[in-house]
Structure 1
């Protein structure tokens, strides 16, 4: 069951917004307040200021071409201003408000827009986000699509609006917008989670493919290493046997060389002996 959040406007402060060059403060006492005046005096601009302060982002709803058009553009001898500011003071203490705001007697919302395009949002004087303002007004009837703030000509537009737009308006009036937003946020999270899971599955599939490829490469590397070791061992055995064979041949040749040297020495001795005998015989013959 949705909690009913009643938020009453107490005061409105406007400066630099549309036709309000100087600061203007408007109080809304208990009961019914009516703002009256001739055409063109700025009555509709007050409604626009309230909607703008509550986070309205549609320039069409604010009757402007560009958002910067809401800043006072000058009139007569008055130069254009560089900033528009609207502060909305609400009665606090309503049920369904955040705990820190529920204890306050007043809640102030401020929106500023600079001609440079920069904007600021303040909640009770502290900087905040547009989302914080939108969530504060959600299900109160005072949101940026507020059904409680109806400008001139809006009734006809409401009657002619699309069924989807009517549904959104009725949901806010019934106080279920906040829960629909939570459901949408949850659905987005679920969709994002599913997308992330699919991405993780794709990554895991790719990693597994790479692991299989690496395993094949590792198997080939191990086989290559094993074959390389076998070739190395065979080469070592071959070179070892060849060295032994060459060493044996070298030893055999060295032995034969020694024998030949000995034979040469023996023959040289015999030749010397025969030469000596030959010389002796020659002497005897003479």
Structure 2
């Protein structure tokens, strides 16, 4: 999976639509402090399904929307679009019809986030699994944010294991396993309820049989 373009609109300091073209090879982004370099990385995490406001350096998810300045009014929404090169047809079957896969996340004040993949409405879970199956995603170890190296050094073994699983590309398998286990647990609960209903109906049938004999 190769990213080819990142578009930001109303996301943090990128009030106007801005395209970052990701060409083959190494793409570097340079600039002075405060120009928005970290916002690009956060936009990439966000469009891939990041749901923790703290990871966006905010108190709430709506903090990613441009808040306004003395000369520019605040925006009511923020949108990030990630274009993925799909010429090798490695995307899931549902989104594998074109040479490019466009994943879009949009957040509107007082409404919340919505996702689209190739103009089709999808769930946040669908987007997260799409990237997890490709050994990447919002929590990929390839996306190193400020302070993450020191956090990894001081991390507990369980946290380090998650990083290694992400790097090995098996986090998607664990996520699908967890989802399957939840479904299985739900099915087992439903079976227990069915047994209770059958027992209750059996008792009612016995009572009706006795009443029929007495009649």
TM over 0.5: yes
Other structure's SS at 2:103 match: strand
The structure that is strand-richer by fraction is 2
Is residue 202 from structure 1 mapped to residue 204 from structure 2 by the alignment? no
What corresponds to 1:248 in structure 2? Answer: none
Q: What is the match of residue 105 of structure 1? A: 99
**What is the CA distance between 1:37 and its match in structure 2?**
0.9
Instruction: Quote the residue 1:148 is aligned against.
Output: 142
Partner of 1:9: 3
In the TM superposition, residue 179 of structure 1 has moved relative to its aligned partner by: 2.3
Which residues in structure 2 correspond to 1:11-160 (within 5 Å)?
Answer: 11-94=5-88, 97-102=91-96, 104-160=98-154
Structure 2 CA distance, aligned partners of 1:40 and 1:97? 36
Give CA deviations for 1:116-141 in whole Å, capped at 9, x if unaligned.
23322111222222122112101334
Once residues 185 and 35 of structure 2 are traced to their aligned partners in structure 1, the CA distance between those partners, rounded to angstroms, is 50
| Shift in Å, 1:158 | 2.3
C-alpha deviation, 1:64, in angstroms:
0.6
Q: How many residues align?
A: 215
Q: 2:179 aligns with which of 171, 185, 202?
A: 185
C-alpha separation between the residues in 1 aligned to 2:88 and 2:55? 28
Q: Give runs of ≥4 in structure 1 deviating > 4 Å.
A: none
Aligned-partner SS, 1:121: strand
Once the two structures are TM-superposed, the CA of residue 12 in structure 1 deviates from its matched residue by 1.0
Matched residue SS, 1:35? coil
Identify the residue that residue 250 of structure 1 maps to in structure 2. Answer: none
> How many Å apart are 1:216 and its aligned residue?
1.7
Change (3 A) 1:47 1:103: same
Give 1 or 2: higher helix fraction.
Answer: 1
By how many angstroms is 1:36 displaced? 1.0
Is the CA contact (8 Å cut-off) linking 1:37 and 1:43 kept in structure 2? yes
Unaligned residue ranges in structure 2 (runs of 5+): none
Larger Rg: 1
Equivalent residues of 2:49, 2:137 under 8 A apart: yes
